[in-house]
Amino acid sequence: MIEHKFFLALAALFDRVVLALSTLGITLLIALNSFIGKVRMSHTNGITLRGRLRVNADARVPEHDFFEQGRTFGCRVRHGAASFNDDAKLVVRSASLKLSDTRGKSPLDLLMNTGRLPLFWNARTFMQFMRRSIAGKGKHYVPYLKKHPQAAIGGGDSVRRDPVSLHKLVYQTQTSFGFIGRDDVFRYCRYRLVPVPFDGVETGLPDEFDRKHAWLQNPLPDETRNRNYLKDATRQALEAGEVMRYKLQIQLRLPPPDSTIQPEWIAAIVAWDEQAFPYLDLADLEVTEAMSVRESNLTWFDISHHPKTLPVPKARSIDDAHSLNHLRMAGVWAVRARLLRYLLTGVPKAIPESRKAKDWVGVPPMANPP
């Protein structure tokens, strides 16, 4: 019995060492890329908006010290797109929410993406995906998708093409967080941001071809709109006095009785049944202003910003479902590297409009559009 416990402890220690070394390696690579390229860890293409959030929770949400009914926050929302600086690409879209009208520190930051299922769901699959990204994206993703069919499903589920508006999309955390209400009961939770009004049908959903070929990300051959048309439309709408409204919602789930066993449904690749675990209204968000390109670049988000009653569960290995959030928290070093580069050489200018600009990236095997 003693030997059994010893080997279990040794295995747990080995898992933590591998996680620490993997995190260090990934962090160094991403931080170096952020410093050299003056780019974010991901979702480099985006626009930051300013607004206000008011807690207006459904009665079924347990009372919570942070999400106190009627509490208001100044906030910033950054709508981004993964990897490519072109609004017309077939890409995963994002909404990062900061419950503070500041560039950095806040009481709570949330990172959300389109789709219910992701392309990767722990540190191991993220490392495999990152290798393909470094190789050149596009067709280089295919071996990874063949090895992990669920990643291919997640990619097809997450990408969006030609949404009517950045505001008319649904964004979800996908990963699981902690929620400790005033009843002192720990629950797992997931968040999402939905537009108001929302009829249940999301804009920009991929057609059958795009869903099955999510790595073919170029604009369609007949695309004539400029690379910033979605950001431009958002800015113009807000400057004309439009108010963009959203609902921040939460999905809650109790852990299994045996706390030593991590249930499969914790993993981001497993969507929770919305009949059994419905999304409940948590807060109302109103966005009224688009920020400058400079202020947008200087605004950063970090899920380490959270109160103790909304914890980020700790990861124990690179296969642990929580290891993805573990890597995201380590991403603060990429933020610091990028901001240091800004300090030394200046903040990047706006993305060029033309696809003939030198920075535009095409993805093989599709030809560049005209």
* Contact (CB, 8 A) for 203 and 270: no
pLDDT band at 333 (very low <50, low <70, confident <90, very high): very high
Contact 267, 52 (CB under 8 A): no
Confidence of residue 290 (pLDDT cuts 50, 70, 90): very high
Amino acid identity, position 232: D
Mean pLDDT along residues 85-109: 97
Whole-number pLDDT of residue 259: 74
pLDDT tens for 51-87 read 999 999 999 999 999 999 999 999 999 999 998 999 9
Distance CA 279, CA 273 (A): 10
Q: How far apart are alpha carbons 107 and 348 in whole angstroms?
A: 28
Residues 89 and 226: their CA atoms lie apart, in Å, by 11
For strands 171-172 and 109-114, give the pairing.
antiparallel
Q: What is the mean pLDDT of residues 310-339?
A: 96
Confidence check: pLDDT of 203 > 70: yes
Q: Band the pLDDT of 260: cuts 50, 70, 90.
A: confident
Q: Is 339's pLDDT higher than 70?
A: yes
Rounded distance between C-alpha atoms, residue 301 and residue 105, angstroms: 8
CATH numeric code, 45-345: 2.40.180.10
* Mean pLDDT, rounded, for 134-154: 92
Q: What does the pLDDT look like over 204-251, one tens digit per residue?
A: 999 999 999 999 999 998 999 999 999 999 999 999 999 999 999 999
Instruction: Please give the backbone phi and psi of residue 48, each rounded to the nearest 5 degrees, phi first.
Output: -105, 135
- Across the range 146-174, mean pLDDT stands at 96
Average pLDDT, integer, range 275-283? 98
pLDDT of residue 2: 64
pTM recorded for the entire structure: 0.94
Name the nearest CA neighbour of 81 among 118, 42, 119, 49: 42
R_g of the chain computed on alpha carbons: 20
> What is the structure's pLDDT at 369?
42
Q: Is the pLDDT of residue 10 over 80?
A: no
pLDDT tier at 1, thresholds 50, 70, 90: low
Q: What is the mean pLDDT of the chain?
A: 93
**Residue 137 φ/ψ region, left for φ over 0, alpha for ψ in the -120 to 50 degree band, beta for the rest:** left
pLDDT in the model for residue 370: 34
